[in-house]
Structure 1
Amino acid sequence: MKLAILGATGPSGQALVQQSLEAGHEVLALVRNPDGISTKHEQLRVKKVDVTKEEDLAPFFKQCDAVMSCLGSRPSFLTTVTLYTDTTRAMVAAMRKTGVTRLVCMTAWGTKRKSSAEGEPWAIAWILRPLFLRQVLADMSRMEDYLLSECQDINYTVVRPPKLLNTEATGKDIKTNEGQFVPDARGGMPRADVARFMLQCLQSKEWDRKMIAVMI
């Protein structure tokens, strides 16, 4: 497959690029800073784009089989985060222009507010969300709502991981739940395992048009 990958310079994106190449896919990394990618491979092309602009993305989506995004925003205490909604709207517009319908992207556990009594881990409900991730999670939530309400023509899969770890892949079976988190699971998940699941989503229709929490 030919994959357009956004967010390829970040740690999750780098894991996805590497695993995609190892699986034999052709990768087009669309990035804001090409110097952030050191990987060299005959199946890899790196192009500088403004990821918030449809007109920048569309020429590179032509003949791609799927678009994958590991774009992420740093936590913001006061400033409203719009990266997730801005880039997703640009991606979808470019996909529609070029006839690409498959999208796999990342958000996180707990994009929608739930109380700990309903099962959400206490640390997310009362520490991470209000103190560190409120603006990021709010924008992730708006992005998910946009896909759900306005993108019936897009075959999306939204992958919701917990805390991301910069550790080696475990290779373990991945637990999934079509919801805000994986019940009775704690801790984090290696980025490499998240990338592995994102690629698995391309090989199966099981996760089409779904938002899936994952954990190992």
Structure 2
Amino acid sequence: MRIAIFGANGATGRILTRRALDAGHSVIAVTRHPEQFHITDPKLTMAGADVRDLTAVTAAVEGTDAVLSTLGVTFTMAPVDTYSVGVANIVSAMRTAGVDRLAVVSSTAIADYPGRTDTPFALRVVQPVISSVFGKTLYADMRRMEDIVADSGLNWTIVRPSGLFDLPDVTEYLAGQRDPVGAFTSRTDLADYLLKLAESPESGATVTISTTVDTPSMWQLLRREAFKSA
């Protein structure tokens, strides 16, 4: 397959790019800062493009079989529109280029999951504050992004991870149209699942992904991840 990855220079995007290349796929790595991207491979093409530039986005997706978005924004109380504007351009570009398969990363924090199990007490305390204060504008834009994707008419999947953290290897994660378990998703698991969705999509579905082993505490996650992008 030929896969375009937006947000390729983010923490999840770099893992996803490497896994896709190792699986034998050709990758278009789309980033505003190609000079900071240090993966090299004969099957890799760098596309220096701002997701707000429709012409550049269209050029990046032409000739691809699937598009994966790992766009991420750090927590801020300022207005955020990167997700919605960026994905709107991706959707428009895909229609122009005749590319149908799209998967985007969102977050479980934008929805309530009454059936969630193994929820840490700290998550119940902290998440309302993050969702309504520190991440209010970010999550509002994620919701706008999800609406754009759901109305796109494409073969789409919205992937909602929980608190992102790093592990070296893929675990036996839980994923699909289900309530999340616990409070965490490793970036390696997320990248693995995104690649599976490019190959065998869950079409028109909003899914979750949960890592249930070797997870940090909520306080460790907040210290390490609060100011990182996806």
Answer yes or no: same fold by TM over 0.5. Answer: yes
Map of 1:56-67 to 2, 5 A cutoff?
A: 56-67=56-67
Which whole-Å CA distance do the structure 2 matches of 1:72 and 1:62 have between them? 23
Residue 62 of structure 1, CA deviation: 1.6
Deviations 1:75-109 (A, max 9, x none): 111x2110000001100111011100101110111
| Match among 128, 131, 136 for residue 130 of structure 2 | 128
Query: Matched residue of 1:51: which SS?
Result: coil
In the alignment, structure 2 segments of 5+ residues that lack a partner are: 212-230
Which residue in 1 is equivalent to 2:157? 157
Query: Matched residue of 1:144: which SS?
Result: helix
Query: Matched residue of 2:107: which SS?
Result: coil
Residue 118 of structure 1, CA deviation: 6.9
* Percent identical residues: 26
Which whole-Å CA distance do the structure 1 matches of 2:110 and 2:175 have between them? 16
Which whole-Å CA distance do the structure 2 matches of 1:42 and 1:17 have between them? 13
Which residue in 1 is equivalent to 2:205? 210
Which residue in 1 is equivalent to 2:106? 107
Residue 166 of structure 1, CA deviation: 2.2
Deviations 1:14-57 (A, max 9, x none): 00000000100001111100022101111111121121122111
Which whole-Å CA distance do the structure 2 matches of 1:62 and 1:14 have between them? 21
Which residue in 2 is equivalent to 1:145? 147
Q: 1:117 to 1:196 in 2, by over 3 A?
A: closer
Which whole-Å CA distance do the structure 1 matches of 2:115 and 2:186 have between them? 26
Which residue in 1 is equivalent to 2:218? none
Which residue in 1 is equivalent to 2:86? 87
In the alignment, structure 1 segments of 5+ residues that lack a partner are: none
Contact 2:68/2:198, CA 8 A, preserved across alignment: no
Q: CA RMSD in A?
A: 1.9
Q: 1:53 to 1:82 in 2, by over 3 A?
A: same
Residue 133 of structure 1, CA deviation: 1.6
Contact 1:174/1:197, CA 8 A, preserved across alignment: no
Which whole-Å CA distance do the structure 1 matches of 2:46 and 2:126 have between them? 36
Q: 1:90 to 1:210 in 2, by over 3 A?
A: same
Question: Normalising by structure 1, what TM-score?
Answer: 0.88
Q: 1:123 to 1:37 in 2, by over 3 A?
A: farther
Contact 1:168/1:190, CA 8 A, preserved across alignment: no
Which whole-Å CA distance do the structure 1 matches of 2:36 and 2:47 have between them? 11
Deviations 1:166-193 (A, max 9, x none): 2222x322212426x41xx223221011
Which whole-Å CA distance do the structure 1 matches of 2:157 and 2:209 have between them? 12
Query: Matched residue of 2:30: which SS?
Result: strand
Query: Matched residue of 1:41: which SS?
Result: coil
